[in-house]
Structure 1
Amino acid sequence: MTIEEMIARIGPLDEAAMAEAAKHADQLTKPPGSLGRLEAVACQAAGITGDKIPALDRKAVIVMAGDHGVCAEGVSAFPAEVTGLMVANFLNGGAAVNVFARHAGADVVCVDIGVDADVNHPRLVSRKVRRGTANMAQGPAMSREEAMAAIRVGYDIVGELVDEGYRLFATGEMGIGNTTPSSAMLAVLAGLDVSAAVGRGTGIDEERLKHKQEIVRRAIAINKPDASDPLDVLAKVGGLEIAGLVGVILGAAARRCPVVIDGFISTAAALAASRLAPQSAAYMIPSHLSNEQGHAAALEAIGLAPMIQLDLRLGEGTGAALCFLLVEAALKMMREMATFESAGIPGA
């Protein structure tokens, strides 16, 4: 399937379902609008699914994992080998995202889309496009065809999970060094200065931060990514797991499922998805505002406002998994809360 065919399958939200949901919310035993963003999320979910009160019980955090050749430039506090080790941790249920997903009643689906190691596990979804990207400070991170292949991986996995009954998705990722390509993508797609887009990632010091900024500047100068062509940006200064998440977002939107966006890397993917298919932004639920520099600007570039702010900067899908609980609360409000009529209370 081509990117054009994927985009063509994304329709507008169901305005009639949203109006029904809003009318129902106003009949609940509370002042109209007094539950704020929860009411907005409930109406958004209705518009996405076409159901006034949808059932989104089966939830999945899709964790895309890939390595980055730019790690050779010393942009991360951790060695690239940690990517494969953390994938094993996800698969064994020991990572933070596993804990939060269990708390939210969700499953973690871990996808090897570009890990530069051989990871074997019965629960691993192995869809390796290539063994890590090339060093974007010396040339394109990957070819346009590889970026498209990675998008297709994410798109197809959502389709498979929808066929299994999943209806609510979250974006997660693992890839040592991946704040560097995410920062480069943000700088190009949002027209930001590199110093505003590049943050500390895994906790690098001031000297390494300046070095990281210089690497991003070099990558942009060498590759000259075209801001009007998001696929070109993904290929030249992006990452395999980032492109995979673009596919997850487009796939969820095409199948009328909400997708909860996690932190900085996930939002860089969401920004690329929104530039490819502006209508996909209506299917996104932003989870949190991370401490990573550039995240607020990335959300603003899409037109999204975060649900929570907990000073998170881990990634993995942790904030999105926590946000599942808020989405569930919004739907339970609609389903279980008494109306003025059923409670025998005179309405306003």
Structure 2
Amino acid sequence: MSVDGWNTVLVLGGIRSGKSEFAESLVSEAAVVRYVATAPEGDPEDTEWAARLAAHRERRPGSWTTEETAGDPRRLADVIAAAEPNETLLVDDLGGWVTVLLDPAHQPADDTATVAELAAAVRGCAARLVLVSPEVGLSLVPVTPVGRAFTDALGATNRAVADACDAVVLVVAGQPSWLKPAANAAPATTATPAAVQPALAPTVAAPPVAAPPVTVNGTATEPTPELVPLPEVLTPPPPMPAVTEGGSGWSAPTMALPVVATGLVIQPGMELPMPDEYAGPQAIERLATLDVPGAGLGVLDRVVGFAAATQGTPTPAAWGATRVLLLHGDHAGGAAAGTMPGESARRARQARAGQGALARMAAESGASLQVVDAPTAGPIENEPALTGEQVESALRYGWRLAEEAAESGVQLLVLAACGAGTEAAAAAVLAATAGAEPPAVLGRVVTDAGEIDDAAWMRRCAAVRDALHRTRRSPRGAKDVLAELGGGDIAVATGVLLGATARRIPVMLDGPVGLAAGMVSRDLAGQARHWCLLADHGGQPAARLAADVLGLTPVLDLRLDLGEGANALAALPLLRSVLSLAASLPVHPTLGGAAEPDDEETDVEEDPGAEPEFTEPEPAGPGPTSTEPEEQPVDPSGWRAG
């Protein structure tokens, strides 16, 4: 990803809106730009059109090179896909490309497949890419069939390319309005010529969030300033009050949430992307054709299907960049019964320093580890876990964490948690959303010495029971459950799931916190659970129930008791190996795959003095391979002759 926060951007605009000038300004600082012209030359007698093309040519700097694709519209996808990472491409424009695509001279053509090929090339483009396209969706429906065909095709193209691009900007009267901004970029204010207009420059950055106070032996102490940098805000935010010394950034109002493709913010009923409904089944069918011994991959074929659906291809690749988000947030009151004060803070500091089981497992798996501090939740048996402002802040913070991961090239997120009372908070969320009984979903409490503490377990059950009694008449909406029962870690995890879904990043869940977040996210965006993979339920009753409700089947049954995230990291190398194997194995020769070379066809230098190998003589008459018997003469008496 480029330093300005985007790698591919679509510039939309009406006629004479200034969209081309703005697009040129975005690449003005590039040393070399390849200008891809898509429009045909047109009628030689059309002087006005020729003048437009000439004005475009004169505006380009002399260092730019020009490439024409009007002769073959399908070649545009090849040009984009073959671009190198150090190149900069400016495609102007998609309206001309659609015009050529619909030209009868290029028919018959599968227009839908060609648009899909272009979108796939844009999504996988390694170069910096700017595409210009007219926005015709705001005009009247054309009265001619040709006009309607053009507007329909261009609208479908704009939607497909916008979905594939990192950023989308609409230029109206020379003023850019960012519809789909990149996380590390803010829009320029005006669309001035390329010689004056700078490239996308960041304007406002969100301040870091300080770690909350740590309670050790009943005394609140300020931890070492371990700041978690937030990604830059995606839309112009309202002024944010400064954080007072010794306070927490969670107490301040959150900046505006980035607007997703549908124009919605974090609220119930969001429409977020779904995985590809066809790629998953196609990947499973493809596994049956591979040249593998035995019965194949067994239960691991579900991993291939999940990866295929989330990547949108029947041949998914093994996940590369993986990030573990370790959510650190304590819960006060009876929910934390049986835990040592300050233990979770020590675990978090240990992980930040690259020490401890989770950090070592992440290093072995080639995954990065980010520790995220969440606000401490209040005692749910007596009061709400969080305020409404804290819930909104935590949700948006989690969303921004997922956005920042996507901009960093992360292909898989692993949700983990370490905090006092997380199991009881997750049990309370399950009881409120799935009607579970707290004693049935609360696991046994095991002390650091390995002993079972039944008294602590009973205090946890009582805390959840009292919390449910306190909130028996409260609403059961997602944000209400997070505020009354969930706490900061579950709220941040919910925001991560939603943000990852918006950016099409799969999430591996491991532990009660992530699964409780999955339960809450159903009310906000039901699509989120389809982007989740459960490596192992860990033998925890809360995880078992939540997985059953969410329709998540654990891939393995390791039951490591090393904290949340350990099961996922232990399974990650195996899952990567399965994906690599499924992507690289050939098709079985009996199903059309390449046959292995025959020994008789191997080129071996013959010995002139050697005797020729014996060959079986051809039978004179019909042999055992004959498909039809030789006709026999028939004796009039009814007996076969001879």
| Paired letter, 1:96 | A
Q: Provide Cα deviations, 1:244-266, integer angstroms capped at 9, x if missing partner.
A: 11111112211111110102222
1:259 to 499, 507, 522: 507
- For 1:154 and 1:201, locate their aligned partners in 2 and report how far apart those are by CA, in whole Å: 29
Please, which moves more after superposition, 12-21 or 285-294? Answer: 12-21
8 A contact 2:269–2:525 mirrored in 1: no
| Paired letter, 2:280 | M
RMSD: 2.3
8 A contact 1:188–1:225 mirrored in 2: no
Task: Please name the residue that 2:540 is paired with.
Answer: 292
Please, which moves more after superposition, 250-259 or 20-29? Answer: 20-29
| Paired letter, 2:412 | L
- For 2:318 and 2:559, locate their aligned partners in 1 and report how far apart those are by CA, in whole Å: 30
Structure 2 residue 401 is the aligned partner of structure 1 residue 157: yes
Normalised by the size of structure 2, how large is the TM-score? 0.48
8 A contact 2:335–2:463 mirrored in 1: no
Task: Please name the residue that 1:168 is paired with.
Answer: 412
- For 2:268 and 2:465, locate their aligned partners in 1 and report how far apart those are by CA, in whole Å: 34
2:343 to 79, 82, 92: 82
8 A contact 2:323–2:367 mirrored in 1: yes
8 A contact 1:201–1:292 mirrored in 2: no
Q: Provide Cα deviations, 1:103-143, integer angstroms capped at 9, x if missing partner.
A: 221111111122xxxxxxxxxxxxxxxxx121111110111
Q: Which has the larger radius of gyration?
A: 2
Structure with a larger share of its residues in helix = 1
Secondary structure, aligned partner of 1:171: strand
Offset of 1:276 from its aligned partner? 2.8
Structure 2 residue 304 is the aligned partner of structure 1 residue 42: yes
Secondary structure, aligned partner of 2:372: strand
Pick closer, same or farther for the CA change 1:144–1:31 going to 2, 3 Å: farther
Task: Please name the residue that 1:126 is paired with.
Answer: none
| Paired letter, 1:171 | L
Pick closer, same or farther for the CA change 1:30–1:149 going to 2, 3 Å: same
Q: Aligned runs of 1:198-209 on 2, under 5 Å?
A: 198-203=442-447, 204-209=452-457
Q: Aligned runs of 1:110-259 on 2, under 5 Å?
A: 110-114=371-375, 132-203=376-447, 204-224=452-472, 228-259=476-507
Give the aligned length. 325
8 A contact 2:415–2:507 mirrored in 1: yes
Pick closer, same or farther for the CA change 1:5–1:194 going to 2, 3 Å: closer
Task: Please name the residue that 1:125 is paired with.
Answer: none
Offset of 1:11 from its aligned partner? 1.6
Structure 2 residue 263 is the aligned partner of structure 1 residue 12: no
Pick closer, same or farther for the CA change 1:32–1:4 going to 2, 3 Å: farther
Q: Aligned runs of 1:279-318 on 2, under 5 Å?
A: 279-318=527-566
2:323 to 60, 70, 84: 60
Q: Provide Cα deviations, 1:123-172, integer angstroms capped at 9, x if missing partner.
A: xxxxxxxxx12111111011122112112111111111111111111101
- For 1:14 and 1:251, locate their aligned partners in 2 and report how far apart those are by CA, in whole Å: 18
Offset of 1:287 from its aligned partner? 1.2
Pick closer, same or farther for the CA change 1:227–1:281 going to 2, 3 Å: farther
- For 1:105 and 1:6, locate their aligned partners in 2 and report how far apart those are by CA, in whole Å: 36
Q: Which runs of 5+ in 1 are unaligned?
A: 115-131
2:525 to 264, 277, 295: 277
Please, which moves more after superposition, 195-204 or 177-186? Answer: 195-204
2:367 to 106, 109, 113: 106
| Paired letter, 1:61 | V
Structure 2 residue 315 is the aligned partner of structure 1 residue 91: no
Q: Provide Cα deviations, 1:169-191, integer angstroms capped at 9, x if missing partner.
A: 11011111211111111111110
8 A contact 2:269–2:524 mirrored in 1: no
Structure 2 residue 287 is the aligned partner of structure 1 residue 25: yes
- For 1:22 and 1:311, locate their aligned partners in 2 and report how far apart those are by CA, in whole Å: 27
Normalised by the size of structure 1, how large is the TM-score? 0.86
Offset of 1:32 from its aligned partner? 9.6
8 A contact 1:7–1:250 mirrored in 2: no
| Paired letter, 1:7 | M
8 A contact 2:394–2:492 mirrored in 1: yes
| Paired letter, 2:584 | E
- For 1:41 and 1:263, locate their aligned partners in 2 and report how far apart those are by CA, in whole Å: 19
Q: Provide Cα deviations, 1:14-44, integer angstroms capped at 9, x if missing partner.
A: 1233344234322211379731332221122
| Paired letter, 2:385 | A
| Paired letter, 2:463 | I
Secondary structure, aligned partner of 1:7: coil
Please, which moves more after superposition, 150-159 or 13-22? Answer: 13-22
| Paired letter, 1:181 | A
Identity %: 27
Offset of 1:201 from its aligned partner? 4.3
8 A contact 1:179–1:201 mirrored in 2: no
Q: RCO greater where, 1 or 2, for CA within 8 Å and sep 6 or more?
A: 1
